[in-house]
Amino acid sequence: MSLTFATAGPSAIPCHVIASGDLDDWLAGQDSAVQIWVRNTGFTGALGSICLVPGPDGAIAMALAGYGTEEMRSRGRFHLAAAAAALPEGTYTLAGLPEDRAEEEALGWLLAGYAFDRYRAQPGASARLIAPEGVDADRLEVIAAAEALIRDLINTPASDMGPDALEGACRDLAEGHGAQISVITGAALLQKNFPMIHAVGRSAAEEPRLVDMRWGKAGPKLTLVGKGVCFDSGGLNLKPDTSMGLMKKDMGGAATVLGLAHMIMSLNLPVQLRVLIPAVENAISAGAMRPSDILTARNGLTVEVNNTDAEGRLVLADALSFGAEDAPDLMISMATLTGAARVAVGPDIAPYFADDTALVTALEEAALRVADPVWRLPFHAPYEAMIEPGIADLDNAPKGGFAGCITAALFLRRFTDGTRYAHFDVYGWNPTAAPARPKGGVGMAARALLEAFPKALGL
């Protein structure tokens, strides 16, 4: 698959972007042969439709891509990716695309070339695009490569993406960018005071670990923490089969953080980047943690384990405590954490929690610019009592079922020691194929964060 732009050449085919209602005006400027051909094909400019117009020699002289109505475009994004998937192999240029949609559509065209082909041949779109004028082609290629990395990591099943392999992916990324990396594994987690990471992962075939990657020598300190639960059986609170089927994606937070880190390092953002990934499998064995066990976290807080299936917040808690000790200017956690977040906003939006006004403003503006939707949910202080069980400082799974994503976020915030902080409860999975977004693993909020960092960090 190719996730890069084509180079200009004389054989490039012009692809005219035509909205519904604009076809008559466009046809008025064409010769009669083109007018007759297009009319006879029934092309109307409907969103996602294409029309191939032959030249005198029978070869494709031009293509038309329907851009629909503004109302229909508002229901999705990356609309020209549908045309890219439908067009035959070749190199194309775009004409008639609104300037304010050029970056979004060019990126969507690149992403249409993605296919997860590790286990069988699956070609992506073969139509190559010459980058539209005014678009930062290099930046978009970096973003597309990062999105492909996120998707590949999430799509790979736990048989090939356990803690060992996730560590390997981190090492590959670090090596590719000259970053430093260290890993604490197995019993050493207890020796170095990461008890909750160890408790969650100690029953699995592959040892639990904490990956710590650093890059950059100057600028604001930015720490990214990603949940790396490579498979979540639920532990002794075993998930039913309907809930366990997609749990290879429970490391989607780690995958998204790695993709975002690839963007930051490739684009040479002037930050001191740190990436922390607790990589574990939540499995079952004689050594598995039990409901009602009480763990003492890295920062000294005690946590009652009222549900072993609420393990993600446990591993993140130790990692967040560790990250906060370095006093970063901004710390962000990303995790496939709660079903409650999906109930709240569905699979297409990344809900997040943040109290910092500058970060929120920058992120909301950035998300709209780059078509990477996010939605702010509250750190609602009155719910703090819901995560305080009485027998211990904190409860990892409050009873009652109310506000599950909020109580999880409040739980995590207890381990940030006042650090400027935002938490993203991502889904990491696209359940229905859409233009540029096939069914399967998908990045969420990484592009919005990349766009927001310069303003949020004062770069």
Residues acting as catalytic residues = 239, 313
Question: Is 231 in contact with 239 (CB distance < 8 Å)?
Answer: no
CA–CA distance, 436 with 433 (Å, rounded to integer): 8
Helix, coil or strand: residue 40: helix
Question: Rounded to the nearest 5°, which phi and psi values hold at 164?
Answer: -60, -50
Instruction: Give the type of residue at 453.
Output: F
Q: What number of other Cβ atoms are within 10 A of residue 39's Cβ?
A: 11
Residue 356 carries which DSSP code?
-
Structure tokens of 88? 């035959």
Question: Is 308 in contact with 282 (CB distance < 8 Å)?
Answer: yes
Instruction: Give the type of residue at 374.
Output: V
DSSP-assigned letters across all residues of 259-312: HHHHHHHHTT-SSEEEEEEEEEEE--STT---TT-EEE-TTS-EEE-S-TT--H
CA–CA distance, 367 with 364 (Å, rounded to integer): 5
Helix, coil or strand: residue 342: helix
Closest CA to 316 of 399, 254, 262, 259: 254
Give, for 60, the enclosing helix (H) or strand (E).
strand 60-68
Using CA atoms, how far residue 154 sits from 170, 181, 356, in Å, is: 14, 22, 30
Using CA atoms, how far residue 193 sits from 17, 118, 202, 226, in Å, is: 58, 38, 14, 19
Give, for 217, the enclosing helix (H) or strand (E).
none
Instruction: Give the type of residue at 405.
Output: C
Residues in Cβ contact with 208 at an 8 Å cutoff, skipping those fewer than 6 apart: 163, 185, 186, 189, 197, 198, 200, 201, 202, 278, 279, 280, 281, 315
